[in-house]
């Protein structure tokens, strides 16, 4: 297509994700646009071949996210991916949800391409970064070394901008020192992914578990149905807000205990909790946060 200062031609590669799409740009619109289209076609065939290789190259990366395996087996999988058998590593997971199933792998490959030097293209194994698929269809990547959070955030924004209509959600874990810590790092990163989905359901977001530093932010990593169940279990009859008395008691949980002794007794009666106990007060507060967060997700 032509623009005010030149011609841009898309490199068509059907097997590539939208995040791996390439374009050719010719500054002079009269400077052989036909050749530009021919070059784009050649590059498209090359990208198609690279995309087909991804299925084979991804197998070793998939082992890093599969069922629990001994540390030596994980180390062997890392070597097959071109990664060192010792850390540190950085685990990242990503999802494009139901709007573009399967595109998350391409997105993570592009993120890795921005962060890892010497990367020629996006394939299942990107330079010295491994990109694989989780059993639920989300994508995961193991990146080598200690990465700057600022660089990771910037790469995420650049890649997400390729498809602004599709929210690209992701989570990152604390650095893993060795192969034995990758399983825990994957759990952390998936928790961060859930938090990103909860806090920004319609926008691209990347959440580092290290930023979940308060109870309300920590609960964003808990799936909505679990938060709803916890809230119902702890608050019980108080959630029957059709009754004005119950609605008033529920509101009381947000007030200072010393000013509402009678209401406190009624809350204790309905919930079976002792508000003189710090543990029980925390249970009720967490239930309120779960109720608020679940209501926001439903909206």
Mean pLDDT by 10 residues, the chain (299 residues): 57 62 61 53 55 54 59 74 81 87 84 66 50 84 83 92 91 90 91 94 94 89 90 82 68 59 83 90 89 60
The CB density around residue 3, as the number of other CB atoms within 10 Å, is 9
The pLDDT of residue 208 = 95
Report yes or no: 237 and 245 within 8 Å, Cβ to Cβ.
no
**d(Cα 204, Cα 221) in Å, to the nearest integer?**
16
Tokens for 36?
A: 């530009």
Domain boundary among 212, 243, 263: 212
The pLDDT of residue 260 = 63
The pLDDT of residue 290 = 86
The pLDDT of residue 121 = 34
* Same-domain check for residues 206 and 293: no
Decide if 217 is inside a domain: no
* Same-domain check for residues 62 and 200: yes
**d(Cα 41, Cα 232) in Å, to the nearest integer?**
58
* Same-domain check for residues 291 and 235: yes
**d(Cα 94, Cα 92) in Å, to the nearest integer?**
7
The pLDDT of residue 123 = 36
The pLDDT of residue 127 = 46
Domain boundary among 212, 234, 251: 212
Tokens for 286?
A: 């967490």
What's the whole-model pTM score? 0.69
CA angle 73, 79, 85 (to 5 degrees): 75
Tokens for 171?
A: 């989570």
**d(Cα 264, Cα 250) in Å, to the nearest integer?**
10
Which residue is associated with the tokens 């030097």?
Answer: 117
Report yes or no: 19 and 110 within 8 Å, Cβ to Cβ.
yes
The pLDDT of residue 258 = 52
SS3 232: helix
The pLDDT of residue 126 = 42
SS3 92: strand
The domain of 207 spans 58-212
Total of domains in the chain: 3
């Amino acid at each position: 297509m032509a623009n005010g200062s030149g011609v841009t031609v898309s490199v068509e590669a059907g097997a590539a994700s939208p995040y791996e799409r390439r374009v050719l740009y010719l500054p002079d619109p009269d400077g052989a646009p036909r050749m530009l289209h021919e070059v784009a076609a050649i590059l498209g065939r090359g990208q198609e071949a690279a995309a087909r290789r991804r299925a084979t190259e991804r197998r070793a990366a998939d082992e890093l996210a599969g069922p629990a395996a001994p540390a030596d087996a994980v180390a062997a999988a890392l070597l097959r991916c071109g990664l060192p058998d010792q850390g540190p590593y950085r685990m990242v997971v990503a999802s494009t949800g139901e709007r573009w199933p399967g595109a998350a792998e391409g997105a993570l490959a592009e993120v890795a391409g921005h962060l890892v030097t010497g990367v020629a293209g996006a394939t299942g194994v990107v330079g010295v970064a491994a990109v694989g698929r989780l059993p639920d269809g989300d994508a995961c990547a193991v990146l080598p070394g200690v990465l700057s959070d600022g660089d990771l955030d910037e790469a995420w924004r650049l890649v997400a901008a390729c498809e602004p209509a599709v929210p690209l959600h992701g989570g990152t874990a604390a650095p893993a020192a060795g192969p034995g810590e990758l399983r825990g790092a994957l759990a952390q990163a998936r928790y961060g992914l859930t938090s990103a989905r909860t806090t920004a359901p319609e926008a691209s977001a990347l959440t580092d578990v290290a930023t979940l530093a308060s109870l309300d932010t920590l609960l964003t990593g808990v799936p909505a149905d679990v938060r709803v169940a916890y809230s119902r279990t702890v608050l019980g009859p108080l959630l029957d807000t059709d009754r004005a008395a119950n609605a008033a008691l529920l509101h009381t949980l947000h007030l200072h205990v010393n000013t509402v002794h009678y209401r406190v007794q009624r809350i204790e009666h309905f919930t079976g909790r002792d508000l003189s106990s710090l543990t029980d007060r925390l249970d009720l507060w967490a239930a309120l946060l779960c109720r608020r967060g679940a209501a926001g997700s439903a909206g």
